[in-house]
Chain A
């Protein structure tokens, strides 16, 4: 079988002296939506940051479309077509909504055209001149996702996009992720909420102590419900 779109092998990462990732190994295939599930502090966000080259110290292997990324700086990694939407959303207070939206440079052809983005998120057009951080939490999350759709990146790393948001917004984000999958994007999603994850994902990796301890296809999620509950401590 050919190599996956994103192949992570024995990935280690450190914050200062503390060793957070202890050999993460997993694959993401083209067009898939894959989640990393796990408790707080399991290393999910660190995995995202390590893939993007945002950790000062990391080792192992991160291969994307066959290119080894482990030794590249994050600006070079982004140019291969990976884009990161951080948990805290990263909306810039000194930029207005439009500037926030237009900030990430185009890295590849084939990003969503601006008109389509505005059709998906009409609020962003209406509030274009507002300061980015004046938007509601849900709108900020939409903006954080919208701005990486323009760039031509094909692999989106979404870190807890539903955290702290009202159910109706969570549903909207769910349908956005399903739409992205239909459009051919590949999504790696960090989630705490496996009920939400089950509505959008193809497969789930369970992360604990900086390692992948299990993989559950979405079709088998019902059969594994008890096991998942034990993993996630819910």
Chain B
């Protein structure tokens, strides 16, 4: 059957898997952006740098402290999330009363500074990170590397867990309510400024977790986030700013579409997401899962 459309199954499923892997990163990163934007109305341009920090942090934990991948998986989101909390307290929290644009400019500037510091320290050629689960299995129609399967599954679990927390728990109802009326939620006795700080830390932690997952696949280098974040912002726009489920579905979906484009029309694979973004913006400016403002 596959020969009929002129594509060998190995290539098709190989690209599908690559698409799912990319989608896993798109979903994790756009989810963090959605969580942050939803509550804080801040477009966090530092997100790519924080993803990169996640990858470097796991590299440093391994190289300087001998802490392996599995330790990094737990520690890195906490460490990088804590730097996010400091950034929110020191800088971002002073901008809430101003236009969104200021938050965007600030976080963009921070991203440039952070990436510059890492480039100065580590160069830009990239550092290797050993695959913690080498090997794979032959599924008959394709070869499945274990680590890649792990990335897709763990990203999916974290995404769905975050969705559940926000949509189905009491804590999530505080977050959703504070998105609408922070003053009223605070007057019910909830410390909204602290919740905002922790939410930013959580979103940053998600970016850092994506960085840890990415380290063994992509080489660890200071501009890894800058390259990825452009696509992730397109994903966010397509899914709808601030929509949790939208960012997850769109992230995985666009990864797969990108992978399939590589099989059927490789020339368009780098632009297909932006073409979709343009079409979505024309037909549904609030995004596929967004609500019109």
**CB atoms of B186 and A93 under 8 A apart:** no
A interface, CB within 8 angstroms of B: 52-54, 73-75, 77-79, 83-84, 86, 90, 92-95, 99, 102-105, 107, 148, 151
Q: How far is the CB of A109 from chain B (nearest CB, A)?
A: 14
Considering the complex of A and B, which 9 residue pairs feature the smallest CB-CB distances, nearest first? A78-B189, A104-B188, A94-B176, A74-B187, A99-B173, A92-B177, A90-B184, A74-B186, A75-B186
**CB atoms of B192 and A95 under 8 A apart:** no
B188 contacts across to A, CB distance below 8 A: 75, 78, 83, 103-105, 148, 151
B interface, CB within 8 angstroms of A: 170, 173-174, 176-177, 179-181, 183-192
> CA A151 – CA B186 in complex, angstroms?
14
Q: How far is the CB of A198 from chain B (nearest CB, A)?
A: 29
| Listed A/B pairs (12) with beta-carbon separation below 8 Å | A54-B186, A74-B186, A78-B186, A83-B188, A84-B184, A86-B184, A90-B181, A90-B184, A94-B180, A102-B170, A103-B173, A103-B185
A75 contacts across to B, CB distance below 8 A: 186-192
**CB atoms of A94 and B179 under 8 A apart:** yes
**CB atoms of B183 and A54 under 8 A apart:** yes
> CA A77 – CA B188 in complex, angstroms?
9
A95 contacts across to B, CB distance below 8 A: 173, 176-177
Q: Most chain-B Cβ atoms within 10 A of its Cβ — which of A73, A78, A84, A104?
A: A104
**CB atoms of A92 and B176 under 8 A apart:** yes
> CA A99 – CA B177 in complex, angstroms?
10
**CB atoms of A74 and B176 under 8 A apart:** no
**CB atoms of B186 and A73 under 8 A apart:** yes
| A104-B189 CB under 8 A given contacts A95-B173, A99-B173 | yes
Chain B residue nearest to A73 (CB atoms) is: B186
B180 contacts across to A, CB distance below 8 A: 92-94
> CA A84 – CA B180 in complex, angstroms?
17
**CB atoms of A102 and B187 under 8 A apart:** no
**CB atoms of A107 and B187 under 8 A apart:** no
| A103-B174 CB under 8 A given contacts A92-B180, A93-B180, A94-B179 | yes
Question: Which of A52, A74, A78, A94 meets B177, CB within 8 Å?
Answer: A94
Chain A residue nearest to B180 (CB atoms) is: A92
> CA A92 – CA B183 in complex, angstroms?
13
If A90-B184, A103-B177 are given as contacts, then 14 extra A-B residue pairs at C-beta distance below 8 Å, sorted by A number, are A52-B187, A54-B186, A73-B186, A73-B191, A74-B187, A75-B187, A75-B189, A75-B192, A78-B189, A92-B177, A92-B180, A94-B179, A95-B177, A105-B189
A79 contacts across to B, CB distance below 8 A: 189
**CB atoms of A107 and B186 under 8 A apart:** no
Chain B residue nearest to A82 (CB atoms) is: B187
**CB atoms of A102 and B173 under 8 A apart:** yes
| A53-B170 CB under 8 A given contacts A93-B180, A95-B176 | no
> CA A84 – CA B181 in complex, angstroms?
13
Chain A residue nearest to B191 (CB atoms) is: A75
A90 contacts across to B, CB distance below 8 A: 181, 184
> CA A102 – CA B38 in complex, angstroms?
21
Q: How far is the CB of A39 from chain B (nearest CB, A)?
A: 25
B187 contacts across to A, CB distance below 8 A: 52-54, 74-75, 77-78, 84
A92 contacts across to B, CB distance below 8 A: 176-177, 180-181
